[in-house]
Chain A
Amino acid sequence: MTEPSSTSSPLDLGGRTFLDSSELVLNMGPQHPSTHGVLRVILKLDGEKVLGTECVIGYLHRGVEKIAENRTYAMFNPYVDRMDYVASVSNGLGYCLAVEKLLNVEAPPRAQYLRVMMTELNRLTSHMVWLGTHALDLGAMSPLFYTFRDREEALKIFEKYCGARLTTHAFRIGGCIYEAYEGMDQDVVSYCNFLEPKIDEYEQLLTTNRIWVERTRNVGVISGAECIALGVTGPVLRASGVKWDLRKAQPYSSYDKFDFEIPTGRNGDTYDRYLVRIAEMRQSVRIIRQAVAGLPEGPIMAKVPKVLKPPAGEVYVSIEAPKGELGYFVVSDGSTQPYRIRVRPPSFVNLQALDKMVRGQLVADVVAVIGTLDIVLGEVDR
């Protein structure tokens, strides 16, 4: 990527140039241990204080939306996993729901419960990756190993269910293709029992740790109104006090049948976002238990034709992915290939808020804020 153009860059502050001697332009390059992927952040510093930031993205741009126009609906399904590769089940769910909406079909109840189970397990694994890497960025090395170790058990369940650990391709348009394998409910319940004390363990290490609190409290503060204006969704929005979760506001895939809470924060700082995600993990465990207990009998696939040709039209369907509102805008022209698929990535829109959250803070906080936004570059760049 070439240097950003020198005209009309956010780093220009009213006529002063970069060469002002009291200001330093620092590049957190695309290769950096803490940028969670290939993200380049250009910081304008006054000593240690951040005056402005600019994110340069697109290093992982693979043209997924263009590819979508050249594949059939079913063929595009595996591509969707590769965007937010940490939470691939959610991506798949969103896409399948969008195409099903276009086809005007609904997955049968058993499939919906299976989908909820898998999606919430995926939310757990995504949050565990977030916790490990975020703690590592702030210097606590051990939680990374603990979360990844505990995530292994969930990945084993994924592997037994659909054959893949990370990019799962678990669902199909119309429902699920894989029936719950024998012993899956025991596996999932024992995983829930295994994980709950582990979440307590993570909290023991960090929540009341004075150094953790000092590193995260009042760092990257953003208010609820600012979040809404910037289009920020997900745990970031909830930690700023806005109690909004698509699973409750506009339920999809039987989420209205589950009993769970939406954790919110008050200050909108990094510490609150940490607490909100930990609480979300506990709620996910709760949902998974309910899904296993209430799994209805029946078919797992709706009646969809082998060759999918949705009628011409367009829909926008969004779900609550672990990172925020993940939306799919699917335009069909009546043929077997989509005319246009637009993915509304939560990480892309959340990353816009980085500049606002980091202005006036110190350089070491930039790392904390990038970690707390929980971005995955695969989703930002597609």
Chain B
Amino acid sequence: MEERRVGVDLKDAKEKAPAMPPPAEKPVVPAAAAPAKPAAAPKPAGPVPEPWNSAIPEDLRNRFGSAIKEANTYLGQNYLLVDRAVVYDVLSILRAEHEFDYCVDITAVHYPKRELQFELVWVLYSFARNERMRVKTQVKDGEPVPSAVSIWPAANWLERECYDMFGITFSGHPDLRRILLPDGWKGFPLRKDYSILQQDQDWVRANLGIESGQ
């Protein structure tokens, strides 16, 4: 079994600049081929998002201008960051004109420190192009997002789960209610302010007749 190297070899460290950062950065594989140059920056360059140059963001920029805030590629994966106001139109155009006929996933990430706390992600795939991309938008807490069910029926349960876990409402969704948690549950667990040990104690008491275990 190959031994795992912890950070940078101590031998190499002596050759480098003395101010070595703690072994928390890992080199891009295979890094052992190039010994660290003493004059190089201590942290080897990691991947950075690069601009995505393709017909799709170009076309969308032509239509929506600055509402398309970012169109980047990170580690070979393309994504767009768009304004909430245009996201439905962007998704429709992607489906109708750019052949992204398969809605792979709809999810959200909660950044409580930001003003626009929730970042919604649509992962889309095109069979014809064999290409995958993500569309992201950022919304405030309580701001509804247009539902993509009319574009892809697959979005139905995916959006219900976003609502269930984050409390993001999707306007135009035919049946927006909780899917994994019980209907009467209060609270949205995947938000960062919902502790991992937290439960809706009233619901547990009322429906299970026991005190909540946590």
Interface positions of A (Cβ within 8 A of B): 1-5, 8-10, 57-58, 61, 63, 65-67, 69-70, 101-106, 108, 174-175, 177-179, 228-232, 242, 244, 249-250, 299-307, 309, 311, 313-316, 318, 325, 327, 329, 331, 339-340, 342, 344, 348-349, 351-352, 381-382
Contacts and interface: CB of A to CB of B under 8 A. Distances in A.
B209 interface: no
B172 interface: no
Given A101-B75, A329-B105, A229 B153 contact: yes
Interface of B: 1-2, 4-7, 23-32, 46-47, 49, 74-75, 77, 101-105, 107, 109-110, 121, 123, 127, 130, 132, 134, 152-154, 156-158, 161, 165, 174-175, 177-184, 189-190, 194, 196, 207
Interface residues of B: mostly helix, strand, loop or mixed? loop
5 residue pairs, one from A and one from B, having the closest CB atoms: A231-B154, A299-B2, A58-B180, A344-B105, A305-B26
A5 B177 contact: yes
A177 B130 CA distance: 33
Given A314-B74, A315-B77, A325-B104, A8 B152 contact: no
A351 B132 CA distance: 23
Given A8-B174, A102-B75, A318-B104, A300 B2 contact: yes
Contacts of B77: 315-316
A381 B180 contact: yes
B24 to A, nearest CB: 5
A276 B24 CA distance: 47
Contact of B4 (A228, A301, A339): A301
B127 A305 contact: no
Contacts of B109: 314, 331, 339-340
Contacts of B157: 348-349, 351-352
Contacts of B132: 250, 316
A305 B6 contact: yes
Contact of A301 (B2, B75, B127): B2
B183 A231 contact: no
B101 A104 contact: no
A231 B102 contact: yes
A242 B1 contact: no
Nearest to A226: B153
Contacts of A3: 183
A349 B102 contact: no
Contact of B196 (A70, A104, A242, A316): A70
A106 B28 CA distance: 10
